[in-house]
Amino acid sequence: MIPQTEAPVFREHFARDRQANVMLSRVAGSLYWMSRYLERAENIARLLDVNLQLLLDFEKLDDESLKQHWLPILHAIGDETLFFQLYETADSLSVSDFITFNRNNPNSLFNCLVTARENARQVRDQISAEMWTVLNDAYHFISSRCIEDVWDGDVGAFYDQIKQFSHLFQGITVSTFARNEGYEFIQFGKYLERADKTSRLLDVKYHILLPKVTDVGGAVDAAQWQAVLRSTSALEAYRRFYVTDILASKVAQFLIFQDAFPRSITFCVDQLRQFALLISEGREGESESPPMRKFGRFASGLRFLAVDDVIQQGLHEFVTEVQTELAGLAAHIYQTYMYCAPVDMDAEIRFHQQQEQQQQGMLPAVVAG
């Protein structure tokens, strides 16, 4: 048996390995969430900005029409239940306050930027000074304002500034961050959030934005689909591919399958698959694990689909499938590389002591043979 006096040596050895693994997981997690929350902030700013501009296209909205105008935004970010626990009516001021500044809303712009900055602070030694400066400036920008300030000033300029912070951060990241494992987690978080938000925008239009069947193909329908394109900065790119009018099937085709456009679902899914494979390179057999193979089949399957297939299946059903696949891959990468479960150190030491004893007990038989 191994003398009990050697137990402290085992403890120190495994504690050191455990600490190293925890540190690597925490760095990966912080970079991932930093990137994902900043991308979420940008997408929320896009959604609010476009919705506010869309109000200018429709005059004389009564209270019920105004409510129906804002409910899709709450549905898109999945916080409709929480909103009505905090506010009585969904109107321009209440919804924009809830999504922009409310501290009780974990997905508010304020909380997204606070969380992104906090994760960056935890890995200050891993990111460039310029990256930290952008996140710090974004935090102070939103911390010094309230919803009344936004509405009394230039609402569009406020949300444009949020988007500019995100664009600046992404450009600086590409220019200053080493192409290592950390970069892979940053990009993985960005494209995961982007794909999710693009799918949710399409789902919102399918569910709520179109109030009447008789409006299909009309001016209201066209204006709303144009708003969807604008919220993903896709309007100009769409016009270059399709010179004709804005049609529902063409918008769906573009935002789902256009692999040359960086905010389409197909483009984001392809990027996710590539970065997931890069992340898993150092772990034997991980690239062939069931979750990775499942997502690979999904990504490949998108290449063989057409917009008619999506319409036949149902846009909502297709979007739900996309979100399920994204959530599955995200959970797998998080559990494998970013989550560290608590460990019973004494039990771990006993297990490795037993292994050592078994190896020592087998050694004479191997030599004698």
Among the three residues 131, 153, 177, which one is the final residue of a domain in this structure?
177
Range of the domain at 38: 19-177
Q: Residue 155 has what pLDDT?
A: 87
Q: Is the dihedral of CA 264, 267, 268, 269 positive or negative?
A: positive
Residue 369 placed within a domain? no
Among the three residues 154, 177, 200, which one is the final residue of a domain in this structure?
177
Residue 355 placed within a domain? no
Q: What's the per-residue H, E or C state across the chain? A: CCCHHHHHHHHHHHHHHHHHHHHHHHHHHHHHHHHHHHHHHHHHHHHHHHHHHHHHHCCCCCHHHHHHHHHHHHHHHCCHHHHHHHCCCCCHHHHHHHHHCCCCCCCCHHHHHHHHHHHHHHCCCCCCHHHHHHHHHHHHHHHCCCHHHHHHCCHHHHHHHHHHHHHHHHHHHHHHCCCCHHHHHHHHHHHHHHHHHHHHHHHHHHHHHCCCHHHCCCHHHHHHHHHHHHHCCCHHHHHHHCCCCCCHHHHHHHHHHCCCCCCCHHHHHHHHHHHHHHHHHHCCCHHHCHHHHHHHHHHHHHCCCCHHHHHHHCHHHHHHHHHHHHHHHHHHHHHHHHCCCCCCHHHHHHHHHHHHHHHHHHHHHHHHC
The pLDDT mean for the chain works out to 83
Q: Is the dihedral of CA 201, 206, 207, 211 positive or negative?
A: positive
Residue 345 has pLDDT above 90, yes or no: no
Whether 162 and 194 map to the same domain: the answer is no
Give the C-alpha separation, 295 to 301, whole Å. Answer: 10
Q: Residue 159 has what pLDDT?
A: 94
Whether 279 and 315 map to the same domain: the answer is yes
Give the C-alpha separation, 182 to 234, whole Å. Answer: 29
Q: What confidence tens digit (pLDDT) does each residue in 72-81 have? A: 778 777 788 9
Residue 149 placed within a domain? yes
Q: Residue 64 has what pLDDT?
A: 58
Among the three residues 177, 202, 218, which one is the final residue of a domain in this structure?
177
Give the C-alpha separation, 24 to 337, whole Å. Answer: 8
Q: What confidence tens digit (pLDDT) does each residue in 34-56 have? A: 999 999 999 999 988 877 777 76
Whether 164 and 199 map to the same domain: the answer is no
Q: Residue 162 has what pLDDT?
A: 96
> Which amino acid is it at 219?
A
pTM for the full predicted model: 0.83
- Can you tell me which residue has the tokens 């709450």? 74
Give the C-alpha separation, 77 to 71, whole Å. Answer: 10
> Please, which residues have CB within 8 angstroms of residue 288's CB and are 6 or more apart in sequence?
none
The pLDDT of 277-298, averaged and rounded, is 87
The pLDDT of 353-358, averaged and rounded, is 61
Whether 148 and 240 map to the same domain: the answer is no
Whether 205 and 113 map to the same domain: the answer is no
- What is the four-CA torsion angle of 7, 12, 14, 17, rounded to 10 degrees? -170
Q: Residue 170 has what pLDDT?
A: 97
Q: Residue 214 has what pLDDT?
A: 45
The pLDDT of 217-229, averaged and rounded, is 76
Residue 33 has pLDDT above 70, yes or no: yes
Comparison of pLDDT for 92 and 37, the residue scoring more? 37
Comparison of pLDDT for 349 and 101, the residue scoring more? 101
Q: Residue 23 has what pLDDT?
A: 58
Whether 190 and 146 map to the same domain: the answer is no
The pLDDT of 172-184, averaged and rounded, is 95
> Please, which residues have CB within 8 angstroms of residue 176's CB and are 6 or more apart in sequence?
128, 130, 131
Whether 71 and 165 map to the same domain: the answer is yes
For the chain, what is the domain count? Answer: 2
- Can you tell me which residue has the tokens 């010094």? 144
Q: Which of 12-16, 247-251, 317-321 has the lowest mean pLDDT?
A: 12-16
Q: What confidence tens digit (pLDDT) does each residue in 123-177 have? A: 999 999 999 999 999 999 999 999 998 888 888 899 999 999 999 999 999 999 9
Q: Residue 2 has what pLDDT?
A: 42
Residue 131 placed within a domain? yes
Residue 367 has pLDDT above 50, yes or no: no
Residue 292 has pLDDT above 90, yes or no: yes
Give the C-alpha separation, 214 to 141, whole Å. Answer: 44
Q: Residue 39 has what pLDDT?
A: 97
Q: Between the CA of residue 174 and those of 14, 68, 94, 244, 338, what are the distances in Å?
A: 37, 40, 37, 35, 22
Residue 24 has pLDDT above 70, yes or no: yes
Whether 208 and 330 map to the same domain: the answer is yes
Residue 366 has pLDDT above 50, yes or no: no
**Proportion of the chain above pLDDT 70, given as a percent:** 78
